[in-house]
Copies of this chain bind each other. A is one copy, B any other.
Amino acid sequence: MLDEELLAGADVPGMRPVQQQRSRELVVRLMNEGLTLLQDHDFDSLSVEALCARCEATVGSFYGRFESKEAFIDTLQRLVVADARRYLDAIYASDAVPDDSLPHLLAWICKGGVRWYRDHEGLIRACLRRATHDRRTWTPLREAGRLHVAYALPHIVALLPPEPGTALEERITFAFQMLFGTLNNMVLIDPGPVSLRQPAAARTLAAAMHQLIVLRM
C-alpha cells in the first residue's frame, strides 16, 4: 500500500508536482487503485477511464496531473521501488537479519522475497510484460533485484570462509539471478513443479540457493 510519505520524496518527470491536499490524496488513490487493477490487467489493458471511475475522478483530472498514461505508469513503478527500498532499509537496519548460519539467512531472504512477490504479483507481471530487453531502459524489476542483492550479499559473505578473488561474490550474484528468474517465471507462466503460492516455495528456493552458493568439496 503506497502512501503520501512516498509521494513526498518523489520527483518524477511527467507528473506535475502536487500542491494541494486533495490532489495528493487523488494521486495516492490513483496509485493504489492502479495496483489493484493490475491484478487482472497489464499496462495496456489498464484503461485510464476505468481507473478514474474507480477513484471517483475524471480523465480530465488525470491528465491535469500526468502528462500521459505512460508517465502514470512510470510514476507507479518508481513509487513501488521507493516502497521496496524503504522496506529494505528498515529491515536490514534492524536486528532481524539472521547471522547464526547460512541456511537460516537464506531461508529468511527467500521468505521475504516470496512474500514480496506474492504481495506485488500483479504489478510484477505487468512490469515483466512491458519490460524491454534493452538494459538501458529502466525497469523496476532490475532495480529492485539489484537493491536486494546489494543488501544481502555482505551478510552472506560474512557467513562463509573467504575465497581469493571474486569467485564467491560471482556465485552469489548468479544464485540471485536464478532466484529472481525463477520467481518471475512463476508469476508469468507458473510452469511448476513449484508455485509461488505453495507453502514450500520459500524453503525449496532457499535450499537451492544454498546448493548454488556453497561449493561441493
Contacts and interface: CB of A to CB of B under 8 A. Distances in A.
Interface of A: 44, 125, 128-131, 133, 135, 139, 141-142, 145-146, 170, 173-174, 177-178, 180-194, 204, 208, 211-212, 214, 216
Counted per complex, copies of this chain come to 2
A178 B208 contact: yes
A116 to B, nearest CB: 16
A103 to B, nearest CB: 12
Contacts of A183: 181
A34 to B, nearest CB: 19
Contacts of A133: 125, 187-190
Contact of A191 (B180, B189, B190): B180
A189 B182 CA distance: 13
B177 A182 contact: yes
B191 A177 contact: yes
A131 B181 contact: no
Contacts of A192: 135, 177
